[in-house]
Chain A
Amino acid sequence: MQADRLYFEDFVPGRQFPLGPKTVSAAEIIEFATEFDPQPMHLSEEAGKASILGGLAASGWHTSSMLMRMIVDSHIANSSCQGSPGIEFMDWKKPVLADDTLAGQATVLEARALKSRPGLGLVRMRTELQNQRGQAVCAAEQVIMFGMRDTGETTA
């Protein structure tokens, strides 16, 4: 058991974890969109400018995926995370444009032990990202499953 590894018990309501920063390039936006969301405003600066998004903009699914990566790097990679049953909501509040730098925070809202699976608990968190102009670009709430410190760690 690593001393700095995060377990269910460490996710105390009110605790915050910083997210990012992450700068997203035009090439990354186009690469993601080409595979998963090939709409003109996600594929070219010109089409983005002509849309209500105002420039080459990341797919909302790309923004969500980048948020996930920031969450993993912040408090999941070195944790007893066992996955997530879902997301209560995700608001894409402002377009994420090429060369934007995103950063934010994840806040623990609630933590409860799972009666049906001893050694596991659910942690509800709110995550928010802002761009370099200080505008909120996305906000989400989701539940993540973590193993408990004494019995939850099933990996070697």
Chain B
Amino acid sequence: MRLAELNPIGTRIETGTLEFTADDIIRFATKFDPQPFHMDAEAAKSYVFGGLCASGWHTCAGWMKMFLAHWKEEHIRLTREGIDPPKLGPSPGFKNLKWIRPVYAGDQVTYFVTLTEARELASRPGTWLNSTFNEGVNQNGEKVLQFDSSVMEFT
């Protein structure tokens, strides 16, 4: 089964919700983005964001994490139903990434994925490139993140 058959173009799929605890925010930022507003709640008050908030890369990685959690469940469900799940591969990148609002400590972000296009690669027959529109929304219904990405699919 191809991804476009499983999730028709334009269908918005909710993949899951991730809580960003202060500990998780600081642990990620210590390794990858050690700026005061990602590391220290007191120091964060004197910056534009005004409070301890997650690195934008942490909120992106959270989208991937929840997509894969959803995908694992889908794999199990499809296999149980006797359907061969789509074979997804690597991604060549993303564009139009917007960190719309900060994700503060204690926020819960619900992630979504919408397939926007699926095309077979002329250079690699049997390999498809799927384009997706991806979003994260916080517990107040405010969008915090969106980006366009693509993922390869093998048939």
* Interface pair A81/B93, CB less than 8 Å apart: no
Give the complex CA separation of A51 and B43 in angstroms: 44
B49 surroundings in chain A (CB, below 8 A)? 82-83
* Interface pair B48/A87, CB less than 8 Å apart: no
Contact mask for chain A residues 78-102; partner B; CB cutoff 8 A; 1 contact, 0 none: 0001111111111111010000000
> Which of A76, A84, A86, A120 lies at the interface centre, i.e. has the most chain B CB atoms within 10 A of its CB?
A86
Question: Considering only CB atoms, which chain A residue lies closest to B127 in the complex?
Answer: A52
Query: A69 within 8 Å of B by Cβ?
Result: yes
From B1-9, B29-37, B115-123, B131-139, give the one contacting chain A: B29-37
B93 surroundings in chain A (CB, below 8 A)? 60, 89-92, 138
Question: Considering only CB atoms, which chain A residue lies closest to B102 in the complex?
Answer: A83
Contact mask for chain B residues 63-95; partner A; CB cutoff 8 A; 1 contact, 0 none: 011001000000000000000000001111111
A81 surroundings in chain B (CB, below 8 A)? 35
State which of B62, B99, B147 has its C-beta within 8 Å of the C-beta of A36.
B62
Tell me the smallest distance from the CB of A36 to a CB of chain B, in Å: 4
Tell me the smallest distance from the CB of B28 to a CB of chain A, in Å: 8
* Interface pair A52/B89, CB less than 8 Å apart: yes
A68 surroundings in chain B (CB, below 8 A)? 32-33, 55, 57
B68 surroundings in chain A (CB, below 8 A)? 37-39
Query: B56 within 8 Å of A by Cβ?
Result: yes
Judged by DSSP, the binding face of B is mixed
Query: B13 within 8 Å of A by Cβ?
Result: no
Which of the four size classes fits the interface of chain A? 35 or more
* Interface pair A87/B62, CB less than 8 Å apart: no
* Interface pair A59/B64, CB less than 8 Å apart: yes
* Interface pair A77/B35, CB less than 8 Å apart: yes
* Interface pair A51/B89, CB less than 8 Å apart: yes
* Interface pair A155/B31, CB less than 8 Å apart: no
Tell me the smallest distance from the CB of B63 to a CB of chain A, in Å: 9
Question: Considering only CB atoms, which chain A residue lies closest to B94 in the complex?
Answer: A90
Contact mask for chain A residues 114-141; partner B; CB cutoff 8 A; 1 contact, 0 none: 0000001000000000000000001000
Cβ contacts A to B, 24 pairs, < 8 Å: A35-B65, A36-B61, A37-B61, A37-B65, A38-B68, A39-B68, A41-B90, A59-B64, A60-B91, A61-B61, A66-B32, A68-B55, A69-B34, A83-B37, A83-B49, A83-B102, A86-B147, A87-B97, A89-B94, A90-B94, A92-B92, A93-B92, A95-B90, A145-B48
Contacts A37-B65, A69-B31, A85-B98 known; 18 new A-B pairs at CB < 8 A? A32-B61, A38-B68, A51-B90, A53-B90, A59-B61, A59-B64, A65-B28, A82-B49, A86-B97, A86-B147, A87-B147, A89-B94, A91-B92, A92-B93, A95-B90, A138-B93, A155-B36, A155-B43
Residues of B within 8 A of A (CB): 28, 31-37, 43, 46-49, 55-57, 60-62, 64-65, 68, 89-99, 102, 147
